[in-house]
Amino acid sequence: MTVTTFPSLGFGTAAIALGPDAEAMKAIDIALEAGIQYFDTAPLYGGGQAEVRLGRALKGMPDIILSTKCGRFREFGAPAQAGTSHADVWDFSEQSVRESIERSCERLDRNHLNVVFLHDIEAAQDQAFREALPVLRELQSAGRIGAVGAGCNTIVGLLSAVDAGAADVLLIAGRWTLLDRTAGAEVLPAAANAGVSVVAGGILNSGCLACPEISGAKFNYRPIQSEERATLDKLVAVAVQFNVSLTAAALQFPQRETRVSTSLLGASGSAQLQSTLDALLEPIPDGFWKAVEDMGLRG
């Protein structure tokens, strides 16, 4: 079955890959209790530990939609490469992709994967399209995969995936947010014209939209730069003006765009996830959104 309609909310598992196991399982339980029916993971997250945990938590729940990825890997249990000696590996070769799919199925305890994304293709785009994509389409035809997608942090990568016919669904990571609307100019129209579904991930931009006040705030996995900080500070001021939680506004922003099918929520544990779910219900006055538009942040 090809997934063409996604729930409006999903839960991304990157942040629960390495923390305490019990806390990760509790977070997944809270997501299920809240009615979330779509979970996204990857071999990259904890080097596969996120898949293991998700497979255990969702055992016996075949109707839950699962997406995973291929092409980017790290050692099992390893943290993100930034600040560590663990280097990520990109490998979109035919053999690697076939082995990756098999390992993901084993970890997730599934014979069928609803979606498989080509993961951060920018690092090896030619190989991803030449070797990995035909394998995914073959497995899709055989019924092993429902939909083929591409998940990227860059506009170039996202557009190239649409142009190459490499995505039934795009995972736009961090480029359609309250702070960063760069996917709006070309990616969203291209996806709509091609009939490609859109999942918005990284909607808090590495946490700076959740904790804008901290001096070490990050944007796109790196320290926030002066121009980004200036825009963030303006958003904070507008939120204060309208007595709005900036985090709540950031979480609600992606779904204001009709071309976005799904927002992926992320949380490092159960308390943070519950706070996120509560924030989605906070009322945001129209005046706030109008003031944000007046800043030029329309997408």
pLDDT tier, 169 (very low <50, low <70, confident <90, very high otherwise): very high
pLDDT tier, 24 (very low <50, low <70, confident <90, very high otherwise): very high
Rounded distance between C-alpha atoms, residue 276 and residue 176, angstroms: 18
What pLDDT score does 1 carry?
38
The CA angle 203-181-38, to the nearest 5 degrees, is 35
pLDDT tier, 191 (very low <50, low <70, confident <90, very high otherwise): very high
280 domain-assigned: yes
Q: Looking at residue 192, which CATH number applies to its domain?
A: 3.20.20.100
Per DSSP, the three-state class of 283 is coil
- In sequence order, the β-bridge partners of residue 115 are 67, 147
pLDDT in tens, 98-142: 999 999 999 999 999 999 999 999 989 999 999 999 999 999 999
Q: Is the pTM of this model over 0.85?
A: yes
Q: How many domains does the chain have?
A: 1
Domain that holds residue 176: 9-205+246-289
Question: In this structure, which amino acid lies at residue 178?
Answer: L
As a whole number, the mean pLDDT across the chain is 94
217 domain-assigned: no
What pLDDT score does 295 carry?
87
What pLDDT score does 253 carry?
97
84 domain-assigned: yes
What pLDDT score does 43 carry?
97
What pLDDT score does 90 carry?
95
214 domain-assigned: no
Mean pLDDT of 163-170: 96
Task: Name 83's Cβ contacts closer than 8 Å, sequence gap at least 6.
Answer: none
33 domain-assigned: yes
231 domain-assigned: no
pLDDT in tens, 39-89: 999 999 999 999 999 999 999 999 999 999 999 999 998 887 654 556 899
239 domain-assigned: no
Mean pLDDT of 202-220: 93
pLDDT in tens, 230-250: 999 999 999 999 999 999 999
Mean pLDDT of 19-40: 97
